[in-house]
Structure 1
Amino acid sequence: MTNKTRALLIGGHGKVALLATPMLIDASVQVTSMYRNPDHRSEIEALGATTLERDVTTLSVEDWADLLKDFDVVVWSAGNGGKNGADATYAIDRDAAIASIDGAASLGEKAPRYIMVSYIGSSTHTIDPSASFYPYAESKKAADEHLSSTNLDYLILAPAALTLDEVNGVEVIADTNEAAAGRTTSRVLVAEVITEFVVRDFPQTRVLPFVDGESPVSSIS
């Protein structure tokens, strides 16, 4: 391949994206990292990415289409992270994510491939509405279901409980809470999986549930 793959990391200052950025650059990917807080620019630039300051909650479907037309792959790794209440979670994790999906889908044959970072069991959650995790669970379910209804070439990454542990490899498991019970997924591994599928075709499955394991990421088929 003579031309570098052009990837957009949405949520570029998140833990996973900061880990993925240098991995992608080492894999000869042209990385643009999208973030909201101007204070984060220098840290992202130091990793070697092109910076793009945007607030995802302000972008319309048309804005997204105009933005995404210049990329081969888009990675949604943005999220409220429970910082600013339920309204912000719905605005970022659900509404902005869906707007970005619609923007990509509107490009038709020129649409980028789309990687959504989600979690195991997102589409079948049974979280109690009174639980603090409920807005996030509902938001991810809505975004994942919306993505799956499109004609995009997409992949939903479904890790278990996230850590910052070092890992030796990956294990692909069933997309259920039962299978994920007691299992964890390192953010390092999530970054490795993102890198793997930015630079090669997506696996056979549209949803990839995975935890820390012993197999190389390259073995996922």
Structure 2
Amino acid sequence: MKIVIAGGHGKVALRLTRLLTDRGDSVVGIVRNPRHVGDVGKAGGEAVVLDLERATVDEVALALAGADAAVFSAGSGSSATSARRDTMDRAAVVLVMDAAEKAGVRRFLHVSSINVGCADDRGISDGYAVYLRAKRAAEEHIFTRDRLDWTVLRPGVLTDGQGDGTVELTAGNKVGPKRARFDEVAREDVAAVLVALIDRPDTAGRIYVVVGGETPIEEAIR
């Protein structure tokens, strides 16, 4: 398979690239910074330099040409301004979906957040709330796309610890959780869940929440 990852230099994305290419898949990582091309290559992928905050639909569609699936794993970063939260965490998602439709790529996986819908919850900082509202707006766009076989994955608080191949995977809903959660999950395990979701087209149209747990990933998806 050929998989294109928007945000190809992200910590989840690089792990996902390694997992996919190790098993023989072809991976294209879309990166903004030319200095990140080498890191994508070391992970086994091919990098395409595109700024998703400025690129056109045609430019992104060209990067997606011939792909079997697109994964949106880009993010604005922890110190982003409110304006960049919107352009990266919402508008860029819409851009990639538009491009996927234009390129004829139906399978679309989106890495969201466990706390989508909890922007007004007590204990949520102002900066995090802006991020969550942008992620929520992106999801609302996703849910309208009947030309895409989308799956939304909402991971918990991401850590760099070694993944152990086990998680707690539960069904989410379009509204989001009632209260904020801060359960942790290793980026390595999030990447492995994305691989499993790519392999399961019957997970299209579904929302999943993933945190650390005791269930092997394949069993959790089944």
TM-score range, shorter chain: 0.7 to 0.9
User: For each residue in 1:31-70, what CA deviation from the matched residue of structure 2 results, as whole angstroms up to 9, or x when unmatched?
Assistant: 1111111111112111211111110111223433343232
Aligned residue runs from structure 1 range 173-184, under 5 A: 173=170, 175=172, 177=177, 181-184=181-184
Report the 3-state secondary structure (helix = DSSP H, G, I; strand = E; otherwise coil) of the residue aligned with 2:82.
Answer: helix
Aligned residue runs from structure 1 range 38-57, under 5 A: 38-57=34-53
- Correspondence for 1:81: 77
Report the 3-state secondary structure (helix = DSSP H, G, I; strand = E; otherwise coil) of the residue aligned with 1:137.
Answer: helix
The reply on whether 1:148 has 2:154 as its aligned counterpart is: no
Give, in whole Å, the separation in 2 of the partners of 1:146 and 1:218. Answer: 29
Residue identity matched to 1:143: A
Give, in whole Å, the separation in 2 of the partners of 1:130 and 1:190. Answer: 24
Q: How far does residue 180 in structure 1 lie from its aligned partner after superposition?
A: 6.6
- Correspondence for 1:96: 92
- Correspondence for 2:33: 37
- Count of matched residue pairs: 215
Instruction: Return the match for 1:67 from 63, 70, 79.
Output: 63
Q: Any gaps of 5 or more consecutive residues in structure 2?
A: none
Q: Percent identity at matched positions?
A: 30
| TM, length-normalised to structure 2 | 0.87
Distance 1:91 1:46, change over 3 A: same
Give, in whole Å, the separation in 1 of the partners of 2:36 and 2:91. Answer: 23
Instruction: Return the match for 1:134 from 108, 125, 129.
Output: 129
Residue identity matched to 1:38: P
Instruction: Return the match for 2:167 from 137, 147, 170.
Output: 170
The reply on whether 1:19 has 2:19 as its aligned counterpart is: no
Aligned residue runs from structure 1 range 99-138, under 5 A: 99-107=95-103, 110-123=104-117, 125-127=119-121, 131-138=126-133
**Segment of structure 1 superposing worse, 180-189 or 71-80:** 180-189
Distance 1:127 1:137, change over 3 A: farther
Q: Report if the CA contact (8 A) 1:105-1:150 is conserved.
A: no
Distance 1:75 1:209, change over 3 A: same
Give, in whole Å, the separation in 2 of the partners of 1:41 and 1:87. Answer: 26
Root-mean-square deviation (CA, aligned residues, Å) is 2.3
- Correspondence for 1:209: 209
User: For each residue in 1:139-176, what CA deviation from the matched residue of structure 2 results, as whole angstroms up to 9, or x when unmatched?
Assistant: 11011110111111011011111111223301123546
Report the 3-state secondary structure (helix = DSSP H, G, I; strand = E; otherwise coil) of the residue aligned with 1:56.
Answer: coil
Distance 1:84 1:198, change over 3 A: same
Give, in whole Å, the separation in 2 of the partners of 1:103 and 1:70. Answer: 12
User: For each residue in 1:59-111, what CA deviation from the matched residue of structure 2 results, as whole angstroms up to 9, or x when unmatched?
Assistant: 2234333432321100100011133412112111111111111222345xx33
- Correspondence for 2:187: 187
Q: How far does residue 179 in structure 1 lie from its aligned partner after superposition?
A: 7.6
Residue identity matched to 1:211: V
Q: Any gaps of 5 or more consecutive residues in structure 1?
A: none
Residue identity matched to 2:190: V
Give, in whole Å, the separation in 2 of the partners of 1:14 and 1:161. Answer: 15
Residue identity matched to 1:101: M
Distance 1:78 1:15, change over 3 A: same
